[in-house]
Amino acid sequence: MVERRHEPAVDVAADAAIDRALVNRARAGDRMAFDELVERHGRAVLGYLRRLAPRQGDAEDLFQETFLRAWRAIASSTDPQRLRAWLLTIATNVARRGLARANAGAFEGLDSGSPHEPAADDATALERIATGERASAVRDAIERLPARQRAVVALRIDLDLPFVEIARVLGIREDNARAHHYQAMKALERMLRPILSPESVPESVEERR
């Protein structure tokens, strides 16, 4: 089974309380408080944007725009409990506009230089090559997904958001979020089958029929 993060309820409540206090201070114009919010949630937003816009440099610009918009809008944000989802919604909208603006597929492509986790240090040279190839194949496969499927995968697998929250962030229905997730997993499974299962595991049921 897949390893899962389960945060204790106390930590979640304490985090929410800290967010609430920081949001209230930021609403009053406290830039230090907002900076602390960037520290607390920025990595999640940056990782998400890198999934949506894998080309080097794009995600960084979108990240900056996301938080500058958030700073301007935080006074009218409604619920500090949903702060991360709110920031991710802004990031989605900023990326969407970026995708629309980008000509010649600025956010598409299979940029091998995009920043991702390095291979394990203790791998032998051969393993490293194999791992590097595998990592590159996984990145390529994710980047080939339609933007919305990529967003669902990032929000669900990277950020552990429930589907109801994913639906809110993307402005779609919850069952659509689940459908996008299934389609994405199915497409990834098809693309990665040769890499992830070298001994040629049986193909999927639907394809056999």
CA torsion angle for 121, 126, 129, 130 (degrees, to 10)?
-100
Rounded distance between C-alpha atoms, residue 114 and residue 138, angstroms? 13
- 8 A C-beta contact, residue 91 and residue 45: yes
Rounded distance between C-alpha atoms, residue 105 and residue 119, angstroms? 29
In whole angstroms, the minimum distance from the beta carbon of 105 to other proteins comes to: 19
Residues 143-162 binding other proteins (CB under 8 A) are 153, 156-158, 162
Q: Is 64 in the site for other proteins (CB under 8 A)?
A: yes
Options 17-25, 79-87, 105-113, 114-122: segment touching other proteins (CB under 8 A): 114-122
- 8 A C-beta contact, residue 54 and residue 91: no
In whole angstroms, the minimum distance from the beta carbon of 35 to other proteins comes to: 5
Cα separations in angstroms, 167 against 89, 145, 157, 162, 176? 10, 18, 14, 9, 8
Rounded distance between C-alpha atoms, residue 131 and residue 90, angstroms? 35
For other proteins, the binding residue among 18, 20, 25, 47 (CB under 8 A) is 47
Residues 6+ apart with CB under 8 A from 16: 80, 81
The contact mask relative to other proteins for 65-104 (x = CB under 8 A, - = no) is --xx--xx--xx----------------------------
Residues 126-145 binding other proteins (CB under 8 A) are 134-135, 138-139, 142
Residues in touch with other proteins (CB under 8 A): 1-4, 29, 31, 34-35, 38-39, 42-43, 46-47, 50-51, 54, 59-60, 63-64, 67-68, 71-72, 75-76, 114-118, 134-135, 138-139, 142, 153, 156-158, 162-163, 178, 181-182, 185-186, 188-189, 192-193, 196-197, 201-202, 204-206, 208-209
